[in-house]
Structure 1
Amino acid sequence: MTLWQPDRSLLRRPAYLSLAEQFARAIEDGRLAAGDRLPTHRRLAEDLGLSVQTVSRAYDELIRRGLISGEIGRGTFVNTRRPEPPQPYLPERLGEVIDLSILKPVCEALHLERLRQALGWLGDSLSESAALSFRPNVVFPRHRTVAVEWLRHCGLRASPQNVNLTNGATAGMTVALMSVAPPGSTIVAEAIGHHTLVPLASYLGLNLIGLDIDEEGLLPEALEETCRRDSVRALFLQPSVINPMATLMGEARRAAIADVARRYDIAIIENDILGPLVEDRPPPVAAIAPERTLYVTSFTKITVPGLRIGYLLAPDRYVAAVANRQLVTNWMATPMVAEIATRWVSDGTAAELVAWQRDALRKRNAIAAEILGDTPYQAHRNGLHVWLPLPDTRSEEGFVAQARLQGVAIAPGISFRISDAPWRPAVRISLGSTDEADLRAGLGVVTKLLLADPEHLLLAI
């Protein structure tokens, strides 16, 4: 049993959350070490003059955060290893919660109608190869040719032989990483990046290093310093607004990063899932360094979430590796979904939905600017989200929990942390995951939480 005990005089309402925060801080600063056994629910309740239910809720909150775990017959212990980063979104919508945690495009009746029409067309005209073939080279030649048209909208010139269809961007990321970085090798990324990259690198046996960033994104000098020090195989990059901080990297910065990659002969994986949604953006890194960049884009975030299909464009040197990794992880993209995407690119529906989304996001970003007012935050007019740094006096976990108590789900910034550098607490707020009325209400709750005194806020709940 550890000697450290929570301080009853520091408890605030709601008591379970305040108690959990004390434990979390003690674990973070080392007063509670990995493997330490915590008091039983009943013993701690008696010591602090609380109900057993309150202690149980506090322990449940710590388990949810991955900080402790219970073992039947033995007790409750501080976790002995660093937990995987929490997912930034709710796994399901709960009750009346306004869910601003999951990153989604704005969707209305138009989107469902377009997809219903596409499914009707598919039922009438499904090709034999899409329905019956197991061979990607039989199913997808036409789809790859049409993909080249879409990649031109993304700012790239491509050959069909270099295009792989994937079941969305996550599948494309996985195949790309496996193609350029064998187990045991080192890859680098922005210090604040894709929320699945940390666990994915771990599962693939890769050493992941987060690099310093500024208001444009990755610093070329940080990349060069790491390449000089370590044997880096690849860089994972999100230069165009989809990154958590919603930054748009300038063309000169992109060229400087490409130059470092050439000098150290490292591959670049460019995640550009917003593609042509972002207006007036610089050319993709894949256009600047096509010989070493694997470019990932998809339709999920810019047309309809159910259209889980994307393109992975690979340089000649990686074409065979990409095809092989695609076979062993997914075999091939789902042909019937690929049929819809190909038709939408060909008949202009994809471009229509992207233009619609662009207009909708301008309106959503205007709502955010109106309600957040003078609060400092980061966003882009074509972006799906807001990155909101928190005051130094606010705990990120506590802020997210307080928002949930008031019926609003937001994503903790720590979910996107890749570097071990000092952390500035922040939250990510999705602008497209609900209707405008709920967005206004949710942003209003967040703004009030920011303006409220933390002590008074806890006492008022």
Structure 2
Amino acid sequence: MSENKFRQIASAIEARIDRGQYPPNSRLPTHRDLADDLETTPATVAKAYKLLVEKGYVESFVGRGTFVKGKTELAQVIQAPDLETAYNFSILQPCLAQSLPMLQEAFSQASKVLSTELIGYTEFSGHPAHRAAGVQWAARYGLENGTPENTLLVDGAQNALSLLIIALTKPGDTIAVERLTYPGILAIASLLGRRVVGVDMDEDGMLPEHLKAVIRHEKPRLVVTIPSHQNPTGVTMPEARRKQIAQVIAASEVWLVEDDVYAFLNSETIPAICNWIPDQCFHITSLSKAISPALRCGFVKVPDSQVSVINAHIRANIWLSSPINYIAAAEMITHGSAFHVAEQQQQIARQRQRIAQSVLHAPYTASHGYHIWLPLPDGWRAERFVMEAKSRDVIVSSGSYFCPDSQESDHIRLSLMSVSSDQRLAEGLGKLDQLLQSEMNTLFHF
């Protein structure tokens, strides 16, 4: 028996935990039952469980068994590389080298206009000039009727999602999302005790008829959609589909949250869903994907009836997003450099999509966004592929993390922007292509 066999088994159990096959607080199989399942010995399973206890994945109790500890999946979807030499395809972020000079200049200019007024507390969710910059940013990419009064400042889109779920739902309520969705939404719902149901999709995004059925049968309080370059599928809703989704929401008593952080990647401006249902829709955008996640600058356009409600939640949770960051953000937006960098990021994304198409032989639906939703060849499952790729210093995101119902997946998501250069991108994709073309090897054979 290989001395490292228990470590391989621990890795497999860890992956099952991460994709939800063993949910938080559930009891793991007995040593003997799992040994039978994996064709090994109870002693080897015991060593694997001990290793998982040490890593903080599980807890063991004498006489009761071993239980999964609560754990967010976000840490597994977005991973820091174990080695500086790793090819990290798990992080959806812009090409930071492109953004850095503009950020340095913006913060330099911001330091010159700091005042006691700007570094103190302010009413509502931020200074009017900073909220006006948010209006300008969102309007450029398809949102209408935003004003400094109904546009609120938050610490990025993730903070906006959390605040809105807290404000608009209560524990036990149902939230409807795309059948495959951003794991950050699932993590928030899990931590807050909200139930999540999936709405079917096609090549144009969320299906209106199935959304109707979900609203009728599941009675969600909230629907969340990512209409542009959807994470993880890469689908962008055309205008006609957006209008249909708006019509379904308008005929219900459900709130819609439109998370449109990737709208700047659209080759042509597409109207926001919120334009048709301003009284039922919350529109989220931010600078994280276009410029830098470190800015933590997010903008939420809310229905007029909900401004005071959401302001109260912002104040209770963060009180105030950093005006210093928003001084720099407003500088970039009002002088146009933010839009220039966003266009450069769009061009880089398209170039990297072309590189991926030239390197990868596996069939997939190409897009113009930051990532690829890649189907795996027959016989592969995402959990196994992720482990095999990591052994080659390539980090990818398992498709299972994007499933609200924790189903197994035969897809992986590849971010094309976080690798430092086109050359390293091609090298990392080449390693993945070799793995995709190979038969499942025996690296993790039990």
Contact (CA 8 Å) 2:32, 2:42: kept in 1 or not?
Answer: no
- Choose from 283, 287, 300 the match for 1:299: 287
Tell me which residue corresponds to 1:97: 86
| Matched letter for residue 370 of structure 1 | S
Is 1:118 the equivalent of 2:106?
yes
- 1:102-144 deviation line (CA, Å, top 9, x unaligned): 1111122x4222222222222222132221234346x511112
Contact (CA 8 Å) 2:60, 2:67: kept in 1 or not?
Answer: no
SS at structure 2 position matched to 1:433: coil
C-alpha separation in 2, matches of 1:49 and 1:34: 19
Tell me which residue corresponds to 2:377: 391
Tell me which residue corresponds to 2:299: 311
Task: Pick closer, same or farther for the CA change 1:61–1:434 going to 2, 3 Å.
Answer: farther
Task: Pick closer, same or farther for the CA change 1:22–1:179 going to 2, 3 Å.
Answer: closer
Q: In terms of Rg, which structure is larger?
A: 1
- 1:161-220 deviation line (CA, Å, top 9, x unaligned): 100011111111112222322333222111110111122113333222112222222111
| Matched letter for residue 182 of structure 1 | K
C-alpha separation in 2, matches of 1:58 and 1:451: 34
Contact (CA 8 Å) 1:294, 1:312: kept in 2 or not?
Answer: yes
RMSD of aligned residue pairs (Cα, Å)? 3.4
After TM superposition, the structure 1 = structure 2 runs for residues 169-180 of structure 1, keeping only pairs within 5 Å, are 169-180=157-168
Displacement of 1:257 in angstroms is: 1.3
Tell me which residue corresponds to 1:34: 27
| Matched letter for residue 121 of structure 2 | S
SS at structure 2 position matched to 1:232: coil
| Matched letter for residue 90 of structure 2 | S
C-alpha separation in 1, matches of 2:409 and 2:430: 23
Is 1:248 the equivalent of 2:233?
no
Point out where structure 2 has 5 or more consecutive residues left out of the alignment. Answer: none
Displacement of 1:245 in angstroms is: 0.6
Task: Pick closer, same or farther for the CA change 1:179–1:23 going to 2, 3 Å.
Answer: closer
Contact (CA 8 Å) 2:8, 2:444: kept in 1 or not?
Answer: no
Tell me which residue corresponds to 1:450: 436
Contact (CA 8 Å) 1:88, 1:102: kept in 2 or not?
Answer: no
| Matched letter for residue 132 of structure 1 | G
After TM superposition, the structure 1 = structure 2 runs for residues 76-155 of structure 1, keeping only pairs within 5 Å, are 77=66, 79=68, 84-85=72-73, 87-95=75-83, 96-108=85-97, 110-136=98-124, 139-155=126-142
- 1:396-431 deviation line (CA, Å, top 9, x unaligned): 1111001000110001111111146x6442111110
Is 1:432 the equivalent of 2:406?
no
- 1:11-36 deviation line (CA, Å, top 9, x unaligned): 9x97853686499889969xxx9353
Displacement of 1:145 in angstroms is: 2.1
SS at structure 2 position matched to 1:130: coil
| Matched letter for residue 308 of structure 2 | A
| Matched letter for residue 96 of structure 2 | C
Contact (CA 8 Å) 1:299, 1:308: kept in 2 or not?
Answer: yes
C-alpha separation in 1, matches of 2:136 and 2:14: 55
Contact (CA 8 Å) 2:151, 2:299: kept in 1 or not?
Answer: yes
Is 1:284 the equivalent of 2:272?
yes
After TM superposition, the structure 1 = structure 2 runs for residues 205-220 of structure 1, keeping only pairs within 5 Å, are 205-220=193-208
- Choose from 395, 404, 418 the match for 1:409: 395
Identical-pair percentage:
25
After TM superposition, the structure 1 = structure 2 runs for residues 358-369 of structure 1, keeping only pairs within 5 Å, are 358-369=346-357
After TM superposition, the score normalised by the length of structure 1 is 0.84
C-alpha separation in 2, matches of 1:330 and 1:23: 34
C-alpha separation in 2, matches of 1:59 and 1:399: 25
Displacement of 1:91 in angstroms is: 4.2
Is 1:349 the equivalent of 2:337?
yes
